[in-house]
A and B are shown apart, each in its own frame.
Chain A
Amino acid sequence: MYAFTYHRPDTVRQAAGLVARKEDAKVLAGGQTLLPTMKQRLASPGNLVDLGSVAEMKGIERKGRTIVIGAMTTHADVAGSPLVQEAIPGLAALAGNIGDPHVRNRGTIGGSIANNDPAADYPAACLAMGATIITNKRKIAADAFFQGMFDTALDEGEIVTRVAFPIPGKAAYAKFPNPASRYALVGVCVAKRGSEVRVAVTGAGASGVFRWPEAEAALSKRFSSKSLEGMAAKAAGLNTDIHADAEYRAHLIGVMARRAVDAAVGK
C-alpha cells in the first residue's frame, strides 16, 4: 500500500469539502474493496477520506412506501434490520448473503453501489427495485446510475449518502456464487410493484448490471416461474472467463430468474 494522508470528517459537508479540496482524494466507506485494491497497489489515493464517523450516513428508516438506507449502513445491519425484513425481505436476504460474516460487518451499501463491481449484489437490487440513489448533490434513478463496469453516474467527488427503495409487492434475489470468491457468477433480482415487473442481472454482463426485458415481459403477463420456463438470456455481451463461459452464464440467468421468482412468491 502506498502512503496517504488520512482524514476523518464528521459530516457529509466536511467529507465533500475534503474530497474537493485535497489532491487525489478517495472516499473510504467499509473498505472491503478499496483496502484490498490499495494493498495490491491498484489504487493509490494521496488522501483517504474515511466516512466512518459520519453519523448522518448510517441507519435505516421507513418513509411512507419507501425504505431509506444510509450509505454507510453495513450489510449486516441491512440483513438484520426488522424494518427491511418486514418491508422488503428479499433485500434483507440479499444483504445477508454478501461475502462472509466479517465482510458484512464492515462492507456498506453505499460503498458497494459506488464501486459498481460487475459481480456485486446490491446493484441488481437497486436496478430491479427501481431504487433512487441520493448523493450530496442530487437524486439519481438506478436506471441512470449504473453505467458500466466499475462506472457510475457519480461526478468526481460526489458522495452517495442514501439509497431509497420503493417497497415492492414482491421481490427476491437468487445468486449462483463463485465457490471461492463468493461473488455472483450470476445473480438475478426480480421485483414486482403494481403491474410493473423488473428483472436485473449481475455477475454476468461484460458491462455490469443490466435488465432482462424478455423476462420482464413474460413475468408481466403472469408472475410465476412457469412464465420463464425454458428461457435463457442471450449469450452475446456476457462474460466468458475461467469460471464460466457466456453460454453457461446465459443458462444460469434463466435458472436464477426462476429461483428468484419462486422465492418472491414464497415457494
Chain B
Amino acid sequence: MATVSMTVNGKAVTADIDSRTLLVQFIRENQLLTGTHVGCDTSQCGACVVHIDGKAVKSCTTLALQCQGANVVTIEGIAAADGTLHPMQEAFREHHGLQCGFCTPGMIMSAIDIVNRKGNDLDEHTIREELEGNICRCTGYHNIVRAVDAGAKAMAGSAKPMKHAAE
C-alpha cells in the first residue's frame, strides 16, 4: 500500500492505495467518478482520457501514484458551477455527436485539449487527425467532428468559467 494525494476536479484527495492502481481505477473506484470509462484498457480507444495538469492523457496507462501532487480533471469537472454544460458538452448534445455515449467523455476531454493546443478555429482535417487516439464504434465520427468544430468555436465566446478549469 502507498499513499497518494492529488487534486481531482478541484478537490484535494488523499488515499491509501495498492501501488498497481491505475489512475482510471482510482477515479472510478476510489473517487466514485464513473464518467471516465474503461474501453480497451490498452491505450488505444481513449474512453479513459482525463486531463493531468491541463494535458489530455489516457488514465488506463497511468498509475495513480504517478499523479502525486497533480491536478486531475475528469468529465465531471468541466461543467460550470451552476450546472450549465461546458460548451464542448453542449456542442456534442446539439450536434448529436454520440449514440451509445460510451466514448463521449474521452472524446470531450480530448476535444477540449485540442482547442487548448490548436485554438478555436479548427479545420476538419486537424480535428480528424487529432482524434486519432479516440475510437467511437457507433457514429462513424461525422457528427463528432462537427461537434468538436462547433464546440471549439463556442469555447471562444464562452465567458462562463469552468467549475475546475484545466488551466
Chain B residues whose C-beta falls within 8 Å of the C-beta of A100 in the assembled complex = 46, 132-133
B56, A105: Cβ atoms closer than 8 Å: yes
Total number of A-B contacts with CB less than 8 angstroms? Answer: 71
- Indicate if B103 sits at the interface (CB-CB under 8 A): no
B42, A31: Cβ atoms closer than 8 Å: no
Contact with A along B41-60 (1 / 0, CB 8 A): 11110100100100111100
- Point out the residue from A2, A6, A76, A101 that lies within 8 Å of B110, measured CB to CB: A101
**Chain A proximity of B111: nearest CB distance (Å):** 11
- Point out the residue from A50, A102, A105 that lies within 8 Å of B65, measured CB to CB: A50
Q: A8-B65, A31-B63, A182-B132 are in contact. Are A102 and B20 (CB under 8 A)?
A: no
Interface range for A: 20 to 34
B56, A102: Cβ atoms closer than 8 Å: yes
**Chain B proximity of A36: nearest CB distance (Å):** 6
Interface range for B: 20 to 34
- Indicate if A71 sits at the interface (CB-CB under 8 A): no
Q: A6-B2, A31-B66, A32-B61 are in contact. Are A102 and B133 (CB under 8 A)?
A: yes
Q: Most chain-B Cβ atoms within 10 A of its Cβ — which of A2, A39, A99?
A: A39
Instruction: State the majority secondary structure of interface residues on B.
Output: mixed
A106, B61: Cβ atoms closer than 8 Å: yes
Contact with B along A144-180 (1 / 0, CB 8 A): 0000000000000000000000000000000000001
- Indicate if B30 sits at the interface (CB-CB under 8 A): no
**Chain A proximity of B44: nearest CB distance (Å):** 8
B42, A102: Cβ atoms closer than 8 Å: no
- Indicate if B68 sits at the interface (CB-CB under 8 A): yes
**Shortest 6 CB-CB distances between A and B: which pairs?**
A100-B133, A6-B19, A100-B132, A105-B55, A102-B58, A1-B20
Q: B residues touching A (Cβ–Cβ < 8 Å)? A: 2, 18-20, 22, 41-44, 46, 49, 52, 55-58, 61-63, 65-66, 68, 110, 113-114, 117, 130, 132-133
Q: A residues touching B (Cβ–Cβ < 8 Å)? A: 1-6, 8, 28, 31-32, 35-36, 39, 48, 50, 52, 76, 99-103, 105-106, 180, 182
14 new A-B contacts at CB < 8 Å, known A4-B20, A102-B58: A8-B65, A28-B63, A32-B43, A36-B42, A50-B63, A50-B66, A100-B46, A101-B113, A102-B43, A102-B57, A103-B43, A103-B58, A105-B52, A105-B55
